[in-house]
Structure 1
Amino acid sequence: MKCIKTGENEVEINYKVDWNGLWNKSLQNLPKKNNPESWDNIASKFNEWMEKDDYPEKLLNRIELDSNDSVLDIGCGNGVITIPLAQKAIKVTAMDISSKMLEILKKNAKNSDLNNINTCNRRIEDVTEEDVGKHDVVVASRSLNGVSDIGKELEKINNIAKKSVYLTLWGADNRRFEREMAQLLGRESHRHPDYIYVYNILHDLGIYANVEMLESNTRNYYSNVEEALDRLRWRIGDLNKDEESILREYLEENMIKTTDGTITYSNGKADWVLIWWKKSE
C-alpha cells in the first residue's frame, strides 16, 4: 500500500502484486505434465536420466536432518532423494502421483535394506494437513514447478513442517532451451514461472526464506540422438513427424560427445534454486 499526496488530498494506491495469480497465468500455456500418466510413461527411464546428475548430492548436503526426524518427500519420484533421507531419518513419507515411480522407489528401498519408507500415491494438492500428518522436515525437490495455486500449497507445506522446509525450483530463465526448441519449430514460446514467484508468495505469507543457487552440473546425457529426442518430446510436448525431423537434424548437428561416448545438449544445462526456512520455536 502506498500513499501519494496531491494538493490537499492524499490518495491511497494499492500496488500489491498477485504473485500466485501471475504464477497460474504463466503455467496456462506450458506443456501439461503434472499428471500421473505423464510421469508413469518416463518412470522406467528416470534412473538412466539421473545417473550423471550431481544435483541430488548438492541438495542433500544442504538438508539438516537428525536421526530421530520424520520427513515428508513431496514428488519423490524413484527415490533418488528419498533413499538417502531414509538412511538418516527415523521415517520418511514418500509422496508421488506416479504409481510406477513409487514401484521403482520400493524396489530401490528394498535393495538398500530400508523399511522406514511409507509411500503415498497422491499429489500434494489432493491431501490435507490431517491426511499427511506433521513431519519434522518437508522436502519438495523439483516437484512444485507445475503446481497451480501454489500459494495454498506452500501454506499447507509450512503447516505440515515442524522444524524446516526445503524446496527446489527453476532458476531464472531456466527453460530457455525448451523455448529455443519451440522457436526452432515455429511454436509460440512461453516462460516458466521461476523461484522468484515462490519467494515473494512466501514473503506475503510472512515466511522469510533463504535463497541459494545450487551449483550443480545438471545435464542430460544420452546414448544416442533418438534417446535425446525422446526426452525432448517429453519436455516440450507432443511432436508431429515434421517437427521430429527438424529436431533430429538439430540434435545431430549440435549435441556434444563426451569422453565416455554419451552425448549431451550443448546449451541444456539446468539451474536450480534452493528455497529453505526453519520454523520459529
Structure 2
Amino acid sequence: MDNSKCISKLDSNDWEKAWKDELGEEIKKKKFWTKDTPKINFEKIAIKDEYHDKLIEKLILDENDTVLDLGCGEGAVTTLVAEKVSEVVGLDSSDMMLDLLQQRIDHGNIENIQTKKMKIEDATVDTVGKFDIVLASRSFMGIHDIKNVLINSNEISKKYVFLAVFGRRNWRIEKKFYEKIGKDYPDFAPHDYIFNMLINLGIYPNIEHFDLEGNRKYDDLDDAFIRMKWKNENLTEDEIDKIKPFLKENLTLNKEDGMLENTLDKSDLVLIWWSKDSYNW
C-alpha cells in the first residue's frame, strides 16, 4: 500500500478534534457490570475466535520480546501472546477485566503475564517503562486523548506498535436495534482518524484488513447481551430492557454447534502497525 496517497491536508490537531467530535462529550459511562454483579467466569465472556488466530499470525514476535497489552480486557489476546514471548504486561482500568485475566492466568498456570490497573491514557514511559512491543487490540474506542496515546505508545515501544481497530462494517445487529427504537447508532471508523494522525506525526504505518468470515456466536441471550456493543450510555433503562426481546427475535440457533448467531453480526477489523526502525521520528 502506498501510504503517501492517503495523506490528508488536515494536521494531527484537526484529526484529533474530528475524533473527539465523533466521540461526543466525554462522560463517565454507565456499566452493565457493577460491584453487585455476580462474579463471571472468564470462559463465559472471552471466546477465542478466528480474529485471535489471525491477529497472532500478523504480529511480529520473538521469544525474548516484552509486550505491553494496552486495554487487555479479559486476556484472550494477552494469553496467546504470552505463548510467543518472554513477558507480557496486561494493562486495563477495569477491575472486572483484570479479574477475568487473572482467572485465565491461574487456570493455565501462566508465569509470564503481569497485570497492571491503569487507564490507557496514563501509560507513558515514566509510568510503565519501555517494551519491545506495544499492542492494543480493539481497545482505543472511547479514548478522547487519542493523539497523546499514540505518541506515548510509540515512545514506549522499542521495536513495533500494533493497533487492531474497527472498520466501518461493524455492529450491524446493534445498529438494527437502534433503528428499531428510533435512534442513530453512534459509531465511526477509527482507523481513518488514527492513520491520518500518525501520518501527520511523521509515522507512516502499514494497514492490513483482517479477512474474517465467521459470524460472532453466543452461548445464550445473556452472553450476547454482555458481549455486544450496545453503547448503553446512550440508552434509557426502558430501552436497555428491550435488548433481550430484540435478541430473541434476531438471533437464530446454529444446529451444528448449538450457538446463537446472526448473519449480520460480523466484525470488520483493521491492523495498523509500524516498526520503530522504519522512520526517523
Give the TM-score category using the shorter length.
0.7 to 0.9
With 23-32 and 158-167 compared, the bigger mean Cα shift is at: 23-32
The structural deviation recorded for 1:114 is 2.1
Aligned to 2:212: 216
Aligned residues with identical type, % of pairs:
33
Taking the aligned partners of 1:78 and 1:209, their CA distance within structure 2 comes to 27
The structural deviation recorded for 1:231 is 4.4
For each residue in 1:204-261, what CA deviation from the matched residue of structure 2 results, as whole angstroms up to 9, or x when unmatched? 11110011111224643233345434545x623145346634x445433332221222
Taking the aligned partners of 1:39 and 1:84, their CA distance within structure 2 comes to 29
Counterpart among 53, 59, 78 of residue 82 in structure 1: 78
Aligned to 2:3: none
With 149-158 and 76-85 compared, the bigger mean Cα shift is at: 76-85
| Equivalent pairs, count | 266
Counterpart among 231, 252, 257 of residue 260 in structure 1: 257
Taking the aligned partners of 1:177 and 1:124, their CA distance within structure 2 comes to 28
Counterpart among 233, 247, 253 of residue 251 in structure 1: 247
- Unmatched tracts of structure 2, length 5 or more: 1-7
Counterpart among 56, 69, 86 of residue 73 in structure 1: 69
What SS class does the counterpart of residue 159 from structure 1 fall into?
helix
For each residue in 1:187-218, what CA deviation from the matched residue of structure 2 results, as whole angstroms up to 9, or x when unmatched? 23333242111111111111100111112246
Aligned to 1:160: 156
Is the contact between residue 45 and residue 227 of structure 2 (CA under 8 Å) also seen in structure 1? no
What SS class does the counterpart of residue 230 from structure 2 fall into?
helix
Give the TM-score, by structure 2 length: 0.82
Counterpart among 225, 230, 239 of residue 235 in structure 1: 230
* Amino acid in structure 2 at the alignment position of 1:78: E
Query: Residues 197 and 49 of structure 1: is their aligned pair in 2 closer, same or farther, counting only changes over 3 Å?
Result: same
What SS class does the counterpart of residue 135 from structure 2 fall into?
strand
Is 1:53 the counterpart of 2:69? The answer is no
Taking the aligned partners of 1:126 and 1:158, their CA distance within structure 2 comes to 14
- Give matches, 1:86-125, under 5 Å: 86-125=82-121
Counterpart among 180, 186, 191 of residue 184 in structure 1: 180
With 31-40 and 124-133 compared, the bigger mean Cα shift is at: 31-40
- Give matches, 1:4-19, under 5 Å: 16-17=10-11, 18-19=14-15
* Amino acid in structure 2 at the alignment position of 1:197: Y
Give the TM-score, by structure 1 length: 0.82
The structural deviation recorded for 1:43 is 7.8
Aligned to 2:138: 142
* Amino acid in structure 1 at the alignment position of 2:92: D
What SS class does the counterpart of residue 208 from structure 1 fall into?
coil
Is 1:132 the counterpart of 2:123? The answer is no
Taking the aligned partners of 1:172 and 1:42, their CA distance within structure 2 comes to 34
Aligned to 1:170: 166
The structural deviation recorded for 1:149 is 2.0
For each residue in 1:115-167, what CA deviation from the matched residue of structure 2 results, as whole angstroms up to 9, or x when unmatched? 22221100121233211111001100011111112111101100110000110
The structural deviation recorded for 1:106 is 2.2
Higher gyration radius (CA)? 1
